[in-house]
Amino acid sequence: MMIKSILVICTGNICRSPIAERLLRQSLPDKIVDSAGVGALVDKPADDSAIKVASKNKLSLDGHRGKQFTSTLGRKYELILVMESSQLEEITRISPESRGKTMLLGHWMGAKEIPDPYRRSDEAFESVYKLIDQACQMWIKKLVG
């Protein structure tokens, strides 16, 4: 599976997808990896709790800005990874042609959904970070082969 570009999706594009984007980008330097949200907080930086949990894990979310998912954006990527099945439905609604290349980030973990930690405790962010990291590692294995 020779995929060159990946778009990671969550709801607001300030917590989960920026973390996954940076994790994938770090391990897949030869691929284009970006993120967006189906209900994005456009131009907002990553959430403070997300920044905190990421930097604890030596990952920088510097310079991140929330971006809204559109069908035009969807067309630019070969693989779209979402956190929850509801986002899969949103992608299908916004960009029906992207449905065939859209999968759950937690696909290789038994189609696990990754819950939204927004406005929740640091512990919630910690456990979501671990889930995202595990899911990304599995995708990296598949993509690097």
* List 15, 16, 47, 136, catalytic entry: 16
For residue 116, indicate whether it is catalytic: yes
Q: Single out the catalytic residue among 99, 116, 120, 133.
A: 116
Annotated catalytic, 122?
no
The tally of CA atoms less than 13 A away on the side-chain side of residue 145 is 3
Q: How far apart are CA 18 and CA 34, in angstroms?
A: 8
User: Is 10 labeled as catalytic in the residue annotation?
Assistant: yes
> CA 52 to CA 46: how far, in whole Å?
10
Residue 135: C-alpha distances to residues 4, 31, 45, 92, 109 (Å): 18, 17, 23, 22, 7
Residue of 10, 34, 47, 136 marked active site = 10
Active site residues per annotation: 10, 16, 116
